[in-house]
Amino acid sequence: MSAEIELLERDGFDSLLAALAADGYTVIGPTVRDGAIVYDEVHTAADLPVGWTDEQGGGHYRLHRRDDEALFGYAVGPHSWKRYQLPPEVTVWRGRRRADGGLERFEEAPREPPRLAFLGARSCELHATEILDRVLLGGAHPDPADRARREDVFVVAVNCGEAGGTCFCASMDTGPVAKAGFDLALTEVLEDGRHYFVVDVGSERGADLLARVPHAAAAEPERDAARRIHEHTAATMGRELDVTDIRDLLYRNYEHPRWDEVADRCLTCGNCTMVCPTCFCTTVEDTTDLSGDVVERRQSWDSCFTVDYSHLSGGSVRGSGRSRYRQWMTHKLATWFDQFDSSGCVGCGRCITWCPVGIDITEEAAAIRASDGERRAGA
Amino acid sequence: MQGLEELIAAAPVFAGLAPDQLELVAGCGANRRAEAGEVLFREGDPADLFFLIRAGTIALEVHSPGRGALVIDTLHDGDLVGWSWLFPPYRWRVDGRAVGPAALIAFDGLCLRGKCEADHELGYQLMRRFAAGAIERLQATRFQLLDVYANPAAR
Amino acid sequence: MVPAAFVVRAKRRETADTWTFELEPEGGGFEFSPGQFTMLAAGGAGEAPISISGDPDDPARLVHTVRAVGAATRAICAAEPGEVLEARGPFGGAWPLEAAEGDEVVIAAGGIGLAPLRPAILRLLDRRERYGPLHLLYGGRSPDQLLYPAELEEWAERGLEVALTVDSAGPEWLGHVGVVTRLVGRAELDPARTTAMLCGPEIMMRFTVAALTARGISTERIFASMERNMQCGIAHCGHCQLGPTLVCRDGPVYPWSELEAWLAIREL
């Protein structure tokens, strides 16, 4: 964490966005659309969910008006930054079939991808980005296209002013305060008639940008205000997850009766995998045009909840909903450690909020822990 | 309620055993009920039990990822279930599941092996009966492998 | 990842639904270790993970034995000499042939499972003097379903003890009839010095392991090539997860001791 703590007044905020635009960045940030807060292009502060907050619970998400004009007075919505790091649909290659049956690959003239600036990234999301980096770039075969998407992204993080109803980043040690992975991190303060941002500078690039924006050094009372907000957020998490020995706890409970119980509720709709910022499964499809000569390979998000996901020898290894929910949860909290040296969960709570039946990963883990070792009949 | 000894004596597989032998066998047994769908044993589990089916059906299954559980045999009233207790490594080779509710007698294999070692006449009488059951099932299995219902054009 | 093109130089029918292709890399050779696989495709019809079944000391040819079981493999099997197939790879880990030097080696294969073991057999025979006795226990459905029949004889002459068995046969068959696990009991081997390598349907491998451990061979010395739904081959798509491992990256060859507990979990 940088020792440079600066102050940005509310009326200087648009200068920050203007400076990013002047540097050629397309700024992506939270906006209100269709009753939710989703990521889209933003140009000025007016594009942000000014004065909005969210109410989140199991299978529940509503927006409400605040009684102030906070720019970031809400938790995370259904979108995550994953959609920019690992887009929902990507064309992997295109080819034209030759007479000998082979494919002649042709590259489309590479469009200059826009330089992106992420505005409003939360600590949980920064951890999710790092986790996805390890999956996509940390193996033996990193894809240059994945690497290109990660280069030159400017990150303006925001430290949450309040914890969401389903948040548990404190349990996962992934927040609420951003510690790394950002160029600038803002803590929004609305107090005593003032509205300002305490700015943590996280990189040279961040310092350079801030230098071109009206700002000052943050005074002690202002830093204290930010600190109080951080502590309050950490103390008011909507959920808790006891991560003591969580990997081995789940490893020894594959036949726990709780999996049958959750299977009675789970629709295997896959919403959780779509909103989760670390779920990375994809599938590919080869398609041709009507002539059969132009072939395209498209990669798109997939979900371990689909029946075909584990197809093998004419059937599926995980045919039952029970086995598929178990796969998702044990991957997220346990086998991810063996596969990628970290937990797969950042405690953002999206899976709880966006599950149509409100299944709560923290509740499921607690239920298994409470009767550790119990086995379903006949197991 | 019939005593265990009487139930064992009535089972065709134990027909002809002397009363003192029946008593020895019954000493290793206990009544056991299984619910419909209950899994009695799994492939790889230690095989220290075997069962006599008084009433009901036990399905022997092998699981395969992608194909699920495959039933390879079904055993019914009067059948003995389980030979893995007889010889090392004393581990079940297949899964066993009660198809409907079943009334069983569960025998402690370690107990009975001990008694057969101590009393070779008992051992001989029991091995004859177990071997007869095994041979009958082996011959039936060989016939089953001929796949006689397959389309002759596909052979 | 972008596939490379390979020209079909030879195509040989093995059984009613299985063919062996000899592919020529376009420019340069193709290096691989025995046990590895490629994501093979007849451009545009989808990819399938296929074990490499060629000679690791002959990089001029990429050899694949393919069974037509779905859309991708049917398209591959329709390719004729002169046409092009595409492959990405090689991916995955290898059979522990170096670690097994000095050991007696038992290779147990079921059906098309002999294909991923063929490169191991060729290397073992090529470096015959570094190993103790070599055994091949190979089972198939019927005599006409066995792979590489001419090579089996050739390998026997080079010092591989070959035992064949089928599920059913006519009277002209002079080999065994019965499941391959029964050959384990017959093999003359020293369990303390034996390394085993297995490939075949999972049920066959489980039962063969039971027979091998009954002979006193430790599960740490038994290696199996596992299969799950592999789509990318590079540990990105998540499909091939087998408990805490990714088959395309941590397998497909595993010591059985690592898998045993996980394979006992139904619908893992």
Write the ipTM: 0.94
Distance in angstroms (rounded) separating the CA atoms of residues C145 and C151? 14
**Strand ranges for A3-88 from DSSP E:** 5-9, 25-33, 36-41, 52-57, 60-65
Q: In what order do the strands lie in the sheet with A36-41?
A: A36-41, A25-33, A115-121, A154-159, A184-191, A194-201, A5-9, A216-217
When scoring B39, B42, B43 by the number of chain C Cβ atoms within 10 A, the one with the most, hence best to mutate, is B43
Which of A134, A303, A335 is best to mutate for the C interface (most C CBs within 10 A)? A335
Residue entry with tokens 């209950």: B38
In angstroms, the CA A358 to CA A59 distance is 4
Q: Can you say how many angstroms the Cα of residue A41 is from the centroid of all Cα atoms in its chain?
A: 17
Distance CA B97, CA B118 (A): 33
Are the C-beta atoms of residues A17 and A27 closer than 8 Å to each other? Answer: yes
Please check whether residue C76 touches A, CB under 8 A. no
Q: What percent of chain C has pLDDT over 70?
A: 100
Q: Check A139 against C249: CB less than 8 A apart.
A: yes
The H or E element containing residue A194 is: strand A194-201
Residue of B nearest to C227 (CA): B65
**What tens digit of pLDDT does each residue of B32-88 get?**
999 999 999 999 999 999 999 999 999 999 999 988 899 999 999 999 999 999 998
Q: Is residue C27 predicted with pLDDT exceeding 90? A: no
CA distance A321 to chain B (A): 14
Neighbouring CB atoms inside 10 A of A320's CB total 17
* Residue B36 contacts residue B97 (beta carbons within 8 Å): no
pLDDT tens, position by position, A318-340 = 999 999 999 999 999 999 999 99
Neighbouring C-beta atoms of residue C138, cutoff 10 Å: 25
The alpha-carbon gap from A82 to the nearest alpha carbon of chain C, in Å, equals 14
Q: What is the mean pLDDT of residues A149-159?
A: 94
Which residues, in sequence order, are CB contacts of A11 under 8 Å at separation 6+?
none
The whole-number pLDDT of residue A92 equals 87
Report which residue type is found at A373: G
Query: CA A279 → CA A328, A331, B29, C16, distances in Å?
Result: 9, 10, 53, 42
Check whether A178 has a pLDDT greater than 80.
yes
pLDDT of residue B9 exceeding 70, the answer is yes
Q: Cα dist. C55→C73, C138, C159, C202 in Å?
A: 22, 19, 17, 25
**Which of the residue ranges A98-107, A186-195, C42-51 would you say has the lowest mean pLDDT?**
A98-107
Contact at CB, B146 and C168, closer than 8 angstroms: yes
Instruction: Pick from A91, A246, A254, A325 the residue to mutate for testing the C interface (most C CBs within 10 Å).
Output: A254
Are the C-beta atoms of A48 and A42 separated by less than 8 Å?
Answer: yes
Does residue A51 register a pLDDT over 70?
Answer: yes
pLDDT, mean over chain B = 92
- The CB density around residue A310, as the number of other CB atoms within 10 Å, is 25
Which is more confidently placed, B93 or B1?
Answer: B93
Q: What's the mean pLDDT when you consider all of chain C?
A: 95
| pLDDT at residue number A377 | 79
For the purposes of burial, counting CB atoms within 10 Å of the CB of B146, is it exposed (0-12), middle (13-18) or buried (19 or more)?
exposed
C139 pLDDT higher than 50? yes
Measured distance CA(A77)–CA(A79) in Å, rounded: 6
Task: Give the B window 106-125 contacts with C, CB below 8 Å.
Answer: none
pLDDT at B141 over 60: yes
pTM score of the predicted model: 0.93
Q: Point out the residue among A135, A311, A322 whose CB comes nearest to the CB of C229.
A: A311
B148–chain C Cβ distance below 8 A for any pair:
no
A378 pLDDT above the threshold of 90: no
The CA distances from residue A210 to A2, A116, C20, in Å, are 14, 17, 64
Q: Is C49 helix (H, G, I), strand (E, B) or coil?
A: strand
Do the Cβ atoms of A312 and C239 come within 8 Å?
Answer: no
Could you identify the residue written with the tokens 């770039």?
A137
Nearest C-alpha in A relative to B63: A317
